[in-house]
Amino acid sequence: MKFLIDFFPILLFFGAYKMADIYTATAVLMAATVVQTALIYKMDGKLQTMHKITLVLVIGFGALTLGLHDERFIKWKPTLLYTGLAVALAIAHWVMKKNFLQMMLGQQLQLPAPVWHRMNIAWMLYCLFMASINAYVATYFSTEDWVNFKVWGYVFPLVFIVAQGIYVARHLPKDQ
């Protein structure tokens, strides 16, 4: 169920774009993200930081896109989000000497410190990759191509998360 809720806004965005234009799709994305956030809050009784950041960025960049009638804002939102995540993970890791992944997931997963370290680095690199590829597509391709990339580009996070799951599974204690 949560998996469907995660993809709900992007699928509606894609459909609205195909039926209308980027501005209609942006308005649909904004509304769908608000609904998604409300559903998650209703189910969990709280929102994770990532949900809050995503909501703020979608509403903020969506409002700029619609208000200024400039599609570049919505196209660059993922680049900003992924870059911000990579920078936050890096600052926490190298400056604050903390591992945010371990802080967020450590209650659910008992893993050795080197595994947490490698996962943190992997997430930093993944976020930089996603920021770069979105920036490239947003800059050098048409809006139509960028929208298609947003939908079909979900293969990257799926592959990354499955790979992380396989990696983590090898290091879990036998009772987990």
Let me know how long the chain is.
Answer: 176
Nearest CA-CA partner of 60 in 42, 80, 40, 35: 80
Residue type, 138: A
What is the reported pLDDT for 175?
66
pLDDT > 70 in the chain, percent: 97
Q: What's the whole-number average pLDDT of the chain? A: 93
Instruction: Please determine, for residue 173, whether its predicted confidence score (pLDDT) is greater than 90.
Output: no
Instruction: Please determine, for residue 176, whether its predicted confidence score (pLDDT) is greater than 70.
Output: no
- Domain assignments of the chain as residue spans, ordered by start: 1-70, 71-176
DSSP string, 10-36: HHHHHHHHHHS-HHHHHHHHHHHHHHH
Dihedral of the alpha carbons of 157, 162, 164, 170, in degrees to the nearest 10: 180
Instruction: Please determine, for residue 2, whether its predicted confidence score (pLDDT) is greater than 90.
Output: no
Instruction: Please determine, for residue 15, whether its predicted confidence score (pLDDT) is greater than 70.
Output: yes
The whole-model pTM stands at 0.88
Residue 161 · residue 130 · CB < 8 Å? no
Confidence of residue 4 (pLDDT cuts 50, 70, 90): confident
| pLDDT tens digits for range 78-133 | 999 999 999 999 999 999 999 988 988 877 888 999 999 999 999 999 999 999 99
Q: Which string of b and e fits 92-131 if b means at least 16 CB within 10 Å?
A: bbeeeeebbbbeeeeeebebeeebbeebbeebbebbbebb
Give the residue carrying structure tokens 């703020």: 56
What is the reported pLDDT for 7?
85
Instruction: Please determine, for residue 33, whether its predicted confidence score (pLDDT) is greater than 90.
Output: yes
